Structure 1
Amino acid sequence: MKALEMGVDDYIAKPFDIVELQFRVKNALPQPAHSVDLVTGLPGWPAVHNNLQARLGRTDWHLLLINLAYMPAYHDVYGAVAGQRVRRTVADLLNGVLDEWGEVDDLVGVLSAHEFAVITRNAQHGRLLSQFQQQFTTASRRWYSPAEAAAAQLQLPDGRYSPLLTPTTAVISASPTTFATTLDVIDAAESLRQRQYPATVEKVTPTLQAIFAAS
């Protein structure tokens, strides 16, 4: 009791029960519905799921999946801080483009360290992506040395070479009879992206499924 009077948030008496401790820790963590990506400040998968779930029965939405291909290579060469700076820039670009071309209930979210999701009602989503690609190209000039930019590749620590960061995209539009769940939508978009860009990283859908299972 004295500890609580002194301002301690909580305490547990010894000997303690491990199950009780696990529940106390879980309850102290932020709730998934409010989770955000700490690097970009963008909402994470729970918010993307909720936004997309509310639209599944409608015919006026589009999911834009943006994957930063070759991000691991950039991270290996320039380090974690530089990689985080890139992710923040991408988040700012997507927010800016959506402010200009999007609707009031559109959303930019994060699915993984290299994957962003945009949910929009704008039928001219191709123009939105084109604006983002142009701004990404301009911003990315600051991320490399002149020699790397001229060669359009990075030399990795082990001597191999990697292409520069490349945003690979896929678009899935509303289809009330095709998608039963939000994971179906994400999986369809990732499958489309992998067909268009075979060298991109593995799908994040299994990770999202695991988040559902744990919640």
Structure 2
Amino acid sequence: MLDGATLSPDAALHAIRGALEKLLGQPSLSFYQREIRAAWDPAGMDGDEDSPIDALLYKKQIVLFGPPGTGKTHSAKEYAKGLIQRETLRLKKAPWYFRNQEARKVAETTRVHRLQLHPGYSYEDFVRGLHVGERGQTEYRLGYLPRLVQTIESETGEMAGLPHVLILDEINRADLSRLLGECFSLLEDRDATVELPGLDEGGRALKLKLPSNLYVIGTMNLIDQSIEQ
């Protein structure tokens, strides 16, 4: 146990470093390693006074925009990873966070979902739509978003409840109003539920609500010559 009340700041930092080096098995540890900095300087992890990670935690969704080739997708992945690290530390607490590095690294990879949008990607692909079945019959099938929601809601075990981040890459290449349909309002109102078109085999309507631990990052090019042409 470190007693901060009886140690000088330098001595306390030295004691913390020693405890972490012993816990992590790293003889030369830096407080600026990303997973450790998340514990003491979460707002400054990305170097911005107004952290995009803070904005993402508050609003549940953000959009990164700029000219093509300026690293928006890379930044989106880094923000997603940083958010998962911060929330894992907050929810699982420091002992679990530092002792379960492999499980944490797996979570940072498997809980980030990237979808590349393009003009041909439709509401039927993303939400729900009619498709031709194996026997030639028409049937409603769930799109990407409801399937992802089902995956999140069915989670069990110690990792359940940790964030999932959906990266929608190049949202400027799709018609978002048509792509999202009635689900557009769910991004802003996470307590809302919408009814999707069509009925299941039992004649019941399918309702959709976004989980509170699903975060969305969109990337947008300010200039897209492929669309202009």
Considering Cα pairs closer than 8 Å and 6+ residues apart, tell me whether 1 or 2 has the greater RCO.
Answer: 1
Question: Is TM > 0.5 for Structure 1 vs Structure 2?
Answer: no
TM range, smaller chain: under 0.3
TM (norm. structure 1) is: 0.27
